[in-house]
Amino acid sequence: QVRLVESGGGSVQAGESLRLSCVASGYSRKRNGRACMAWFRQSPGKEREGVASIYPGGVASYAASVKGRFTISRENTNNTVWLQMTRMRPEDTAMYYCATVEREDYCGLQSDYNYWGQGTQVTVSS
């Protein structure tokens, strides 16, 4: 069973930066360091939306709303993924979730992510 633990959430002012971290464990030997990883977010009353995803090789995809402001990165040896958020806006306020799926052929935001972390709250005030 894959387990994901996020950290790094908090409260910031608009324009400031924040960095989220997520460590995954429990992958099969074949998939260790070779699984899709992604960040999603959900605000009260809204549907969950994909924020950014990344292939094991480092190719990333971003939602239009965060492109140019957020950067996803990963370190495969320790199955860690980060989300660096800059020039943050009040509309970035949400619970942020780390997700993964044990595949590496398609790691876009529409992939079938099936393991999720507990989430970390991010609040941006104006």
Q: Which residues contact 105 (CB under 8 A, 6 or more apart)?
A: none
Which residues, in sequence order, are bridge partners of residue 97?
40
Closest CA to 27 of 82, 103, 98: 103
Q: Is the dihedral of CA 104, 37, 44, 84 positive or negative?
A: negative
Average pLDDT over residues 70-94: 97
Q: pLDDT tier at 43 (50, 70, 90 boundaries)? A: very high
Q: pLDDT tier at 31 (50, 70, 90 boundaries)? A: confident
Is the predicted pLDDT of residue 104 greater than 90, yes or no? yes
Q: pLDDT tier at 63 (50, 70, 90 boundaries)? A: very high
Where residue 15 falls (left for φ over 0; alpha for ψ -120 to 50; beta otherwise) is left
Q: What is the pLDDT of residue 90?
A: 97
d(CA 96, CA 121): 6
Percent of the residues in the chain that have a pLDDT greater than 70, as a whole number? 100
Which residues, in sequence order, are bridge partners of residue 42?
95
Residue 30, both tokens = 């074949």
Q: Is the dihedral of CA 54, 59, 63, 65 positive or negative?
A: positive
Q: What is the pLDDT of residue 38?
A: 98
Q: What is the pLDDT of residue 86?
A: 98
d(CA 2, CA 24): 7
Is the predicted pLDDT of residue 14 greater than 90, yes or no? yes
